[in-house]
Structure 1
Amino acid sequence: MNSIDTVNELNELLSGENVNIQLSVAQLVEKATSRGEAVLTSTGAVKAETGKYTGRSPQDKYIVDEPISRDKIDWGSVNQPISSEVFESLYKKVTSYLAEQNELFLFKGFAGADKTSRLSIQVINEYAWHNLFAQQLFINPTEEELANHKADFTVVSAPNFKANPAVDGTKTETFIIVSMEKRIVLIGGTEYAGEMKKSIFSIMNYLLPEQNILPMHCSANVGEEGDVALFFGLSGTGKTTLSADAGRKLIGDDEHGWSDNGVFNIEGGCYAKCIDLTRENEPQIYDAITFGTVLENVVVDAKTRVANYADNSLTENTRAAYQIQNIENIVDPSVAGHPNTIVFLTADAFGVLPPISKLTKEQAMYHFLSGFTSKLAGTERGITSPQPAFSTCFGSPFLPLHATVYAEMLGKKIDEHGAQVFLVNTGWTGGEYGVGSRMKLSYTRTMVRAAIDGKLNNVETETDTVFGLAIPKQVEGVPSEVLIPRNAWTDKAAYDKKAAELAQAFHENFKKFGTVSEEISQKGGPLA
């Protein structure tokens, strides 16, 4: 099958009489509920369940080995190669399967709020609620933009089509395959809607560096004075929570680009974790869950249809997908200036990293490359309890290029724009997971606000002897014993042992970046 065949098959699929094109939110809600895919909740949100796959399937994600991208991709366990023959065979089977369905749903939109670098996308879905998800998460076109829309990339999603590994060349029934040459994302065997979102992000991570734009797995907000803050971190570390600050305007929830003009949101919506969600702790997120919001795997009362956000019986990874316009305090369009403050968030299950510390540029590049955190329950299949992990650039599953490409771009932009960088531990204090306690959100908010307001730029610091981090000695509103992690542990010897273990883990992990300069690999990271 050549490129012309692929285009023809796609055009034939999308022009079928069974395709519903650009339905409204109300129409998609009606379709999803009438077809039995989802139920309407008391707030007007729709609740759907994703079956046995309640998180991403990283082992089932592939990039097609093609001449156009072969020498650019950082091949390995994250970017797994798959042959053109395997892709084309599955593509033909999936499109034939979809063509036989009674109804399909097509969304046309964009990724990237900066019109000079945005990606035109279209998403064809087997499920109405998946198409509603796409409409909530990506940028919706105006009527004029829709009339002139020509997709640069197409997502083809068929969750009920399951691969046969023995015949189709996959590992399991599930597959997420990206073809850079044919500009297609092919998804099958999983109902987890987040695969669509993350596939487009991966594509932007491939395309944007060619335009001298740094793609970032982060949230971002801006203050009244135009001061921009970025929040890096994996799922569950607090990006969404900490960036949704009533005193600042949200630029975006999860994915951004940093160009010569400033920061822009790649998405048009938010994909918030909602386990244990309350209006008291996270009022912006709680109140954003209104008509048209998609709730994934949230338990809902059968009679009242009231969501029980504390119930994790389906998964810890419960999610709410809603348009960014559901939040009052936003920047529209989602673009702003260059960052003043950059925050790296980590949920340290060891309980030894400081709750906040200042980083030099070299340390920032080191910790950006390291991307230390703990995988939290439910964010990936098979993860049932927190585990220490290193995720390069706080988003290794989504980086097609070598990690140093992104780190070098970050270092250059820090230099150019004088951004202050902080490492913030939203994980454990007073002991490791199971012994200590989770850092109080109120303390974290206070420290982050102090950093963003510039109150920590010139404060007296204490250098951590294990990790070489500059820890502020005082932060107004935070007990001093919390700031120095060793002081928060009753058993000091246990702290010393656990800190040494984590420092060694940092060193061992960083060995994979053999080409990084000594200035970063030795001075930027934990001390030997």
Structure 2
Amino acid sequence: MNTTLTANALQRLQPLGISQASEVCLNLPPAALVESALCRGEAVLTDTGALMADTGKFTGRSPKDRFVVRDEKTASSVWWGEVNIPFEADKFDQLHQKMVAYLADKTLYVREGYAGANPDYQLKLRVVNELAWHNLFAYNLFLRPEAGADTTWAADFSIICAPGFEADPAVDGTRQANFAILNFTKKLILIGGTAYAGEMKKGIFGVLNYLLPHEQDTLPMHCSANVGADGETAIFFGLSGTGKTTLSADPNRGLIGDDEHGWTPAAGIFNFEGGCYAKVIDLSQEKEPEIWQAIRFGSIVENTRFVPGTRTVDYANTSVTENTRTAYPLGYIANAVEPSVGAAPKHIFFLTADAFGVLPPISKLDKSHAMYHFMSGYTAKVAGTEMDITEPQTTFSACFGQVFLPLHPTRYAEMLGQKMDEHPEVSVWLVNTGWTGGSYGTGSRMKLSYTRAMITAALTGQLNEVDFHPHPVFGVLVPAAVPGVPTHLLDPRQTWANAAAYDATAADLAQKFVDNFQKYADYASADILAGAPKVAAEQPV
């Protein structure tokens, strides 16, 4: 499917306003894209055959430069503010025309694919790239049509991604030279001035977060998902760096997907993507064998560096960024489930990297606490996930993905509550993959092996007969024992050298929860508010 400049190829681009190009490479296979990237000096090969590329100035998303076109369609439906920054429709058209002119003498790499593994919920995509390795990223991350499939369809949404094109903020209405702009009326995303490939996948995630609740009564979720041999599905919510990808890549369970899913009214869940985009900082074969084995020919590693004198990637090297990444097709994981769909989940895990070291490493949530913690979305931004983040910073991100939500967070929380009512057998767990024995800088990060053991115990029913006690401040239910985990770790207060210091820190974190939730208080039911921590609770002696 190596199509150069032809009337047919350009005809597919005409709805995007593109009628000129020096060459159009349509749906190239991975080998041809790797060859193009190498010949053009965009990337180099590692000793595993993976393509290694740099993203330049931007090694993470730039949330302050993400915009949504405000027009008749979106004016009253989008949650406007710091997350969804309004952009003028005429400025979008102006930028679009400039980008088309910029691309007129360029080689264009065009990818046609899907978002949504359930055929009833698919979004047909057309992606236009300036860089060959970006088109390989699109091949890996989006769902791929079957060989020989007719893709002459009109796209439901398209992306034009041109890192070499920079906006003029004074003229074009952007904040700076880089931008990512969603236009729901024109069904088009423009990305310029940044080579961070994740802007493409998160742009489509934002689109689905808008369309699915509106049009198909489906809950979009920033979560990973896997399934056991018994067919029981589990989903894992969490921001980048909390362990979503790592913990869902379980050799004893089938991987449905690592980042984005939808929960339908009747058909269970489905993966939005056809690949994985995993962090590789300190990656090792011993700790994460599934991801390690997936980094081979056809995969991409971003912003990594070699061991000197070799072509072996040094995953401990953070000289470029701590947000080093790999992108590979879902099928590169040996136990991947294809098509990537599953039944309604029996277990829901909220993953948080608690920088204060207050929350238990695992706790069970009733409906009130589940709804409250979902709306709170407490975690820590991990170093390198976004620009200018150099160490963990505590944050509250509604639905564990606030930066991707075009609608008000209460819309998604209400849908989750509805799902819980419809599926009363579901168990909801809060898992702290962050600090124990003290806050960041004093305590230590919870061992991955212990976190895996706790999740496995929950999934296999080993906690069904265990005694639980409520946390004195947060009210979540803490198990008395978990197989394979030292008992003293389960009660975070016992891991601190100074119990009084723990109590004070817990009270402070509880107050932060309550303060954050004030912006939702007018929308929250009494049932949800019952899940709030007790900020004035008498502390244990």
- Give the structure-2-normalised TM-score: 0.94
Q: Which amino acid aligns with 1:33?
A: L
Instruction: Answer whether contact 2:22 2:104 (CA < 8 A) is retained.
Output: no
Residues 283-318 of structure 1: per-residue CA shift (max 9 Å, x gap):
000000010101110112464211111111110000
1:166 aligns to 2:173 (yes or no): no
Give the equivalent residue in structure 2 for 1:128.
Answer: 132
Give the equivalent residue in structure 1 for 2:102.
Answer: 97
Q: Cα offset for 1:514?
A: 2.7
User: How high is the sequence identity, in percent, across the aligned residues?
Assistant: 55
Q: Per the alignment, do residues 202 and 147 of structure 1 end up closer, same or farther by CA in structure 2, a change over 3 Å counting?
A: closer
Instruction: Answer whether contact 2:13 2:19 (CA < 8 A) is retained.
Output: no
Rounded Cα–Cα distance in structure 1 between residues aligned with 2:19 and 2:114: 18
1:466 aligns to 2:470 (yes or no): no
Give the equivalent residue in structure 2 for 1:3.
Answer: none
Instruction: Answer whether contact 2:371 2:528 (CA < 8 A) is retained.
Output: no
Give the equivalent residue in structure 1 for 2:62.
Answer: 57
Rounded Cα–Cα distance in structure 2 between residues aligned with 1:294 and 1:403: 33
Q: Per the alignment, do residues 314 and 146 of structure 1 end up closer, same or farther by CA in structure 2, a change over 3 Å counting?
A: farther
Instruction: Answer whether contact 1:10 1:95 (CA < 8 A) is retained.
Output: no
Number of residues of Structure 1 aligned to a counterpart in Structure 2: 521
1:371 aligns to 2:382 (yes or no): no
Pairwise mapping of residues 326-475 of structure 1 onto structure 2 (< 5 A)?
Answer: 326-417=332-423, 418-475=425-482
Q: For 2:79, which of 68, 74, 82 is the aligned residue?
A: 74
5+ residue gaps, structure 2: 1-11, 536-541
Give the equivalent residue in structure 2 for 1:492.
Answer: 499
Give the equivalent residue in structure 1 for 2:160.
Answer: 156
Q: Cα offset for 1:51?
A: 1.1
Instruction: Answer whether contact 1:47 1:297 (CA < 8 A) is retained.
Output: yes
Rounded Cα–Cα distance in structure 1 between residues aligned with 2:93 and 2:377: 35
Instruction: Answer whether contact 1:464 1:470 (CA < 8 A) is retained.
Output: yes
Q: Cα offset for 1:332?
A: 0.8
Q: Cα offset for 1:146?
A: 3.6
1:221 aligns to 2:226 (yes or no): yes
Q: CA RMSD in A?
A: 1.3
Q: For 1:481, which of 467, 477, 488 is the aligned residue?
A: 488
Residues 58-110 of structure 1: per-residue CA shift (max 9 Å, x gap):
00000000111221101110001011011111111011101122x11000000
Pairwise mapping of residues 196-215 of structure 1 onto structure 2 (< 5 A)?
Answer: 196-210=200-214, 211-215=216-220
Give the equivalent residue in structure 2 for 1:47.
Answer: 52
Residues 329-380 of structure 1: per-residue CA shift (max 9 Å, x gap):
0111001111000000000000000000000112111111100000011000
Q: Which amino acid aligns with 1:83?
A: E
Q: Cα offset for 1:414?
A: 1.4
1:87 aligns to 2:92 (yes or no): yes
Q: Per the alignment, do residues 332 and 15 of structure 1 end up closer, same or farther by CA in structure 2, a change over 3 Å counting?
A: farther
Instruction: Answer whether contact 1:363 1:525 (CA < 8 A) is retained.
Output: yes
Instruction: Answer whether contact 1:366 1:520 (CA < 8 A) is retained.
Output: no
Q: Cα offset for 1:10?
A: 4.3
1:18 aligns to 2:29 (yes or no): no
Instruction: Answer whether contact 1:228 1:341 (CA < 8 A) is retained.
Output: yes
Rounded Cα–Cα distance in structure 2 between residues aligned with 1:61 and 1:150: 26
1:116 partner SS: helix
Instruction: Answer whether contact 2:243 2:433 (CA < 8 A) is retained.
Output: yes
Moved more, 362-371 or 450-459: 450-459
Q: Cα offset for 1:527?
A: 1.9
1:186 partner SS: strand
Q: Cα offset for 1:145?
A: 3.2
Give the equivalent residue in structure 1 for 2:7.
Answer: none
Rounded Cα–Cα distance in structure 1 between residues aligned with 2:139 and 2:522: 41
Give the equivalent residue in structure 1 for 2:262.
Answer: 257
Q: Per the alignment, do residues 446 and 141 of structure 1 end up closer, same or farther by CA in structure 2, a change over 3 Å counting?
A: same
Instruction: Answer whether contact 2:261 2:269 (CA < 8 A) is retained.
Output: yes
1:243 aligns to 2:248 (yes or no): yes
Q: Cα offset for 1:15?
A: 6.8
Give the equivalent residue in structure 2 for 1:316.
Answer: 322
